[in-house]
Chains A and B, each alone.
Chain A
């Protein structure tokens, strides 16, 4: 789960990581009030959960009230990668002497927590990682959930020659790791991590992503989610135990299992059609899920055909068949259904569907071919 910069900043503050003074505002008047408190110049930053915000003109340093008001209004009216800007962060502009990069994340392949640091912070950090990988420091925690500063002192020593800065960096890293461990993060990133003109270290930006699997033990984090970034259908699907992602095409897909669901979309595409969605009904055998899946898919008015591709394992084909029959009684399905069922209780399912006048396929290729034909 991603959260906005200002919420990540709040977490940083809670854990004692230094940030520039500031607050968020939805109005230019509010922004002016914040700026008067912090003093000009201030930086104003669009709060959006997509990358490339700076390049889209969503970040600006302003030196006086008039500029603040006009720039605030300009940014407020931006559309950044399809998202409108509702809230802006207004923070005291930092006198930047040098930009660094500091992050804690997971290396999946190593299965370990890793500190990543570089003396080349800023937006070009990924480019640096490609062209000058030796300028990126990777420090593995070796599976140890410690907060002992001595452990990662070498990272600070590689970044800074000044002993005072080393100490400050080590302490900030400890706080970042504490946040990372305590809140089940998958990323805690400071970019840029800045030395100010006065020679202090400060987080000039804050990015935190939480592990979705860890959210169960952090109910306090759920209100931090910005619902604007969640598709309503996708959220509803999630509540009903389905996994759904809307796409551009016209062949609705209902599949069991994420891999087969992706494979089915690929097959539709390969045989000349366009999948309208990814939908995984999951592993359980609840007929209700098929009904819910059909309801969600049918909201998309582009749909020309619905392809149901089930490979029964834990999912029993006859349960899916019953779900289809229940749906046919309860809702109007104005497009053809192409049904493919193989695996556990396939025979029972076919008897159920055939007696209701529906045709079923055993081969995935045949079913996909039929669905693509119906979509034209």
Chain B
């Protein structure tokens, strides 16, 4: 089993005629993802890698019955792409695009709150359920099907973690890259909940980093609701202290967002926090005993 996507997920690619969109559409197809269509306004009727291109999400949904959309459009069009998916009730939206203005995301969040849609990202690597489907930009071949759930705020660091799992013969149920932007559609808590409910996920690896308050909320959630073992790695212990944002930032976050503080909070919640990505497999073995 897996969370969010599997072999039956039918995905459309927004921005499929662009450089990144066409490249990754092909990579996803090769991995076995059911890529059923692409959307680029004004380019409907064309084909990219044998995938039909439509002018709008509505048209693509009507013709293909897609239930997921992945966005590779430039930052200035990303808001409209997300809003179009939400308006058309696409249940799962993955936005890879980097550099989306924060106020655009406020609008998107508002639209999401009035819908049944889930957004992953923006500025994220996407997600994969190994052996079934990958939607995003991660290298498929480093993954392996199994029962470890991985959730992360980072891209390449997640690959590092997954690679260490795979070479130690620990497959993954699903790996979800949440994205590095301040406002994102899906957070640690949401994915932890899904992994906790997924009967085929036995343990969870979370990869966090300095800044923000997500790991703290995750720790609170784990303490109350997660019975499966959780192993965490937090990046950024040597990163220079973040630049301050007036007083308002401190008033809003009202907590210590250093890597060390996050590690301690997670430890206090019963999470096994490790120092080096290659220590994860051992920590998982120990916690699964």
* Chain A residues near B (Cβ < 8 Å): 2, 51, 101, 103, 105-109, 111-114, 116, 125-126, 129-130, 133, 136, 138, 142-145, 181, 184, 186-187, 189, 191, 207, 209, 211, 213-214, 216-217, 245, 247, 255-260, 262-263, 265-270, 275, 278, 283, 311-315, 342-344, 363-365
Contacts and interface: CB of A to CB of B under 8 A. Distances in A.
B106 A343 contact: no
12 contacts: A101-B247, A108-B182, A116-B251, A138-B252, A191-B247, A247-B240, A260-B156, A262-B238, A266-B236, A313-B155, A344-B139, A364-B277
B85 interface: no
Contacts of B163: 311, 342-343
Given A112-B109, A259-B153, A266 B160 contact: no
Given A114-B252, A187-B248, A311-B156, A365 B276 contact: yes
A51 B244 CA distance: 8
Contacts of B110: 112, 142-144
Determine chain A's interface SS by DSSP, over half rule: mixed
Given A213-B75, A262-B210, A207 B246 contact: yes
Contact of B239 (A125, A270, A278): A278
B34 to A, nearest CB: 22
Given A109-B217, A258-B180, A259-B209, A269 B238 contact: yes
A263 B160 contact: yes
Which size bracket describes the interface of B in this complex?
35 or more
Interface string B188-224: 0000000000000000000101101110010000000
A213 B103 CA distance: 10
Given A184-B102, A184-B103, A263-B277, 14 more contacts: A101-B247, A105-B252, A108-B252, A109-B212, A109-B213, A129-B250, A191-B247, A207-B246, A216-B101, A259-B154, A260-B160, A268-B238, A270-B275, A313-B156
Interface in B97-136: 99-103, 105-107, 109-111, 113, 125
Nearest to A345: B139
Given A125-B251, A129-B250, A213 B107 contact: no
A263 B235 contact: yes
B109 A270 contact: no
Contacts of B22: none
B76 interface: yes
Nearest to B189: A109
Nearest to B244: A51
Identify the interface centre among A103, A108, A112, A126: most chain B CB within 10 Å of its CB: A108
Contacts of B252: 105, 107-108, 114, 116, 138
Identify the interface centre among B109, B213, B246: most chain A CB within 10 Å of its CB: B246
The 10 A-B residue pairs with the shortest CB-CB distance, nearest first, are A259-B154, A143-B110, A257-B156, A259-B157, A111-B109, A260-B156, A105-B248, A214-B101, A262-B235, A108-B182
B100 A257 contact: no
Identify the interface centre among B155, B239, B247: most chain A CB within 10 Å of its CB: B247
Contacts of A143: 106-107, 109-111, 113
Given A213-B100, A257-B156, A111 B106 contact: yes
B92 interface: no
Contacts of A344: 139
A83 B150 CA distance: 43
A211 B159 contact: no
Nearest to B108: A111
A213 B102 contact: yes
B156 A256 contact: yes
Given A113-B106, A187-B248, A311-B163, A259 B158 contact: yes
Given A145-B107, A211-B103, A275-B238, A259 B207 contact: yes
B183 interface: yes
B235 A259 contact: yes
